[in-house]
Chains A and B, each alone.
Chain A
Amino acid sequence: MTKVKTQSLQKKGSDLAQSNRQLEILSNGIFKSGELPTFKDKISETSQFPLKAKKLEILQINVGYMCNQVCDHCHVDAGPDRKEIMTRETMRQCLDVIKNSGAHTLDLTGGAPEMNPDFRWFVEEAAKVGIKDFIVRSNLTIIRANKKYYDLPEFFKKHNVHVVSSMPHWTKGKTDKQRGDGVFAKSIKALQELNAVGYGMPGSALKLDLVYNPSGAFLPGDQAAMEKDFKKALMEDFGIEFHNLFAITNLPIARFLDFLIASENYEDYMYQLVEAYNPSAVTNVMCTNTLSISWDGYLFDCDFNQMLELPVNSKSKHISKFNEELLEGRNIVISQHCYGCTAGAGSSCQGVVA
């Protein structure tokens, strides 16, 4: 049975809305007792501590936590009740950085980035810079949420935006369970509309990729096999085409951590992550070539660290004081949630890494 999802942890006044409470949980229990090794100890085994930032390749900008959905697994704790929104002023500062940095990829995320009132202005301005890969992480349902968003597929096309969208399963039951009642039908319609303007079609330069993350306390399966199953089912059932599927592991923070604890799956899940630890995934983990920028302009090693309020370990902490040289080679800030990016074939916003 699906449920109507309405409130963020923050709105509910949950303990777990606090980042320090989440970090406390991740540091205590089985990690404090030594039953499982901390992430620091684990990467030290292969002399990979401290994890260092390499050359900046990807700028991931979170333009706000507001979202039209309240998904079970959301590491942002996003929802309609979240009011943190990037201002045009901060966007201007981001544009200066985009123009001058060596990053080849710009990745806009949220919440639903389209809900930021300056989203279109920002996309238009950023597209002028001519960055190689310009990603917008769209939750799909936003395209069908309100008339003012109906033209988004055309807008994305006009600015040659690379659309990356979440899709937890090719069936209604599993999708709506995770993302809320009615999400599957709206997502299918949105995908068909994206296809109609050329997104995701074989050979099309209009890139449409899907993100799969598990609906519960288990790790994602093999990315290539999942992509095959998704492609077959979406084509046979709805005539939908897309390019690549990225399989992403749920990290034990925010609402997913809340779910793990409430369902008594936390310890078992952490065991799964630690047992699936893959040292070769550490080499290419996304924090080493990515910088995450929050709605208020602060810099983080990744979007997960942003949500845990773990700022970069550098003197350059804000977009207004951005200094690529200072940031390169910085020590990445880690905790036990990092096991989520090094399990199995690894996990990043672009899928597997190993």
Chain B
Amino acid sequence: MDKPEKLMIDGKRLDGRSPEELRPFKIVAGALERADGSAYVEMGNNKVFAAVYGPREMHPRHHALPDQAVLRCRYNMAPFSVDDRKKPGPNRRSIEISKVTREALEPVMFLELYPRSVIDVFVEVLQADAGTRTAGINAASVALADAGIPMKDLVSSVAVGKVEETVVMDLFKEEDQWGTTDMPIAMIPRKKAITLLQMDGHFTEEEFKYALDLASRGCTQIYEAQRQALKEKYTMRKEEE
């Protein structure tokens, strides 16, 4: 893929969005039959499944903690999720994302309710188009709620960045690749507390503040959709007969 001549044309982005617009997204709770809780999230061309199992007994036993549950996250990209085939299995990047996903979710969980056990979260990326970790966190938090695991709030996540001197929200692949900055953020929307903040590139202080504010607005939109997805799952059941 070659670098496009311009990433911003007349204040619009290459996919026609304005700088502060999210990609179209879709969230479904309870998408998998056999998991204790699950969710499917599409953010633009990202397609991500999250499955939650547990709380269940930890194996190997000595990894369990005596006074609280362990949250175990695995982020994985399917070999066919990107243009060039990705070699299957964990790599440096996916291990890092697994870790930051776990740390983004941990603050909302009541892990002390389930001593000696483990809660497994699997995030599988079927199709990637920049911002898969944020889509993964959004899916994982809905899946945890769907599994009936107590949480203080859902976690919502979105990336902001800079493309040709403009601060933009929810970057897609070309912007991520050729833009100057990418900053994924996860938030507890109710408290506006940040649980994930990574940054690749540069922002001035003003840009950073504006970017945070933008991300906060994006998270609120996603938060509403997450809640809606959970509501739909349970009200749909009511109308099933």
Physical interaction between A and B: no
- The chain A residues found within 8 Å of chain B, CB to CB, are none
